[in-house]
Each structure stands twice: as structure tokens, then as C-alpha cells.
Amino acid sequence: MPDSARRLVGLGLPCLVAYLIAATLTLYANHSLAVVAECLAWPAIIAGLLLLLPEPLAVVLAIAVVFGHVAGAYTLMTPMLGSAWYQIANGMFLVGAATLGTGLYWWVRTSNQSNRGQRLKQVPTWLRWPLIIGLVIAASAIAQKSSV
């Protein structure tokens, strides 16, 4: 399996699981076409960043995305949680951490077992960083619009 596919499975799958929970709750609360468009663009932006960023930054991004979406899902669920809010919050973060930890462990383990010569083939630097900046700007625009 190429390193890019391992990176998407190991880092992207936990992000996708957390995102789907938060997006489902968001769509349930607000089902406008703009929200649907954002829900389709966001995973593509995160996947692009996970592939383009250097490994340490990709790991940091995956951690931030998983816990950001878990926190977002929790805030959307707060009105219906009642007195069990603390236990549910702890459970949600535990599941998020377990999912992310499993993905990271799998990615690191399979990367170490594969041929070292088949590392992720990077996009040329002159194209890679402008793409990263463009994706970060797009993500910031979506995040800014979502917080209003």
C-alpha cells in the first residue's frame, strides 16, 4: 500500500469519523444548501492537507481535527444531555482518542514495515506550499462562515 493511502487511512479515517458525527448533528440542526456545500468541501480540504503537509504537521492537524469535531458535536448535543453531560463528554473524547490513537498506531506501524524507498512522493515544493496555503485559506473561510 502506498504511503499516501496509509496516511489517509491512518490519519484521515479518524478525522472522517469525528467529522461525520459533527456534520450529521449540524445538518440536523441547520439543513441549508450552504451547510451541505460546506459539509462536502471540508473533508476534501482536510484530505488534501493531510497528504500535502509534512508528517509532523499532518499528525498535529489530525489531532486538532478529531478533537475539534468531537467538541463541536458535543456542543450541538448539550441541550439534550441533561445531568449526564460530563460523562457523555468524557466518553466522546475517549472514543475520539481511541479512534485517533488506533489510526496513528496503524499508520506508524505499517509505514515502518513497508519499503523505506516507497515514501510519500511529494508534490514539488514550488507547487506544494502554495497548495497548502490555498487549502488553509479555504478551511479558514469555511470555519469563519460556520462560526457566524
Is the pLDDT score of 109 beyond 90? no
Going from the C-alpha of 66 to that of each of 15, 21, 71, 106, 131, the distances in angstroms are: 5, 11, 9, 16, 22
Going from the C-alpha of 45 to that of each of 59, 62, 91, 116, the distances in angstroms are: 15, 12, 28, 28
DSSP 8-state symbol, 124: P
Q: pLDDT higher for 135 or 121?
A: 135
Residue 121 pLDDT level (bands cut at 50, 70, 90): low
Alpha carbon of residue 63 to chain centroid: 8
Q: What is the mean pLDDT of residues 37-44?
A: 86
Q: pLDDT higher for 18 or 36?
A: 18
Q: Is the pTM of this model over 0.85?
A: no
Q: What is the mean pLDDT of residues 65-90?
A: 85
Q: What per-residue confidence (pLDDT) applies to 111?
A: 76
Mean pLDDT over all residues of the chain?
Answer: 84
Q: What per-residue confidence (pLDDT) applies to 83?
A: 81
Neighbouring CB atoms inside 10 A of 116's CB total 7
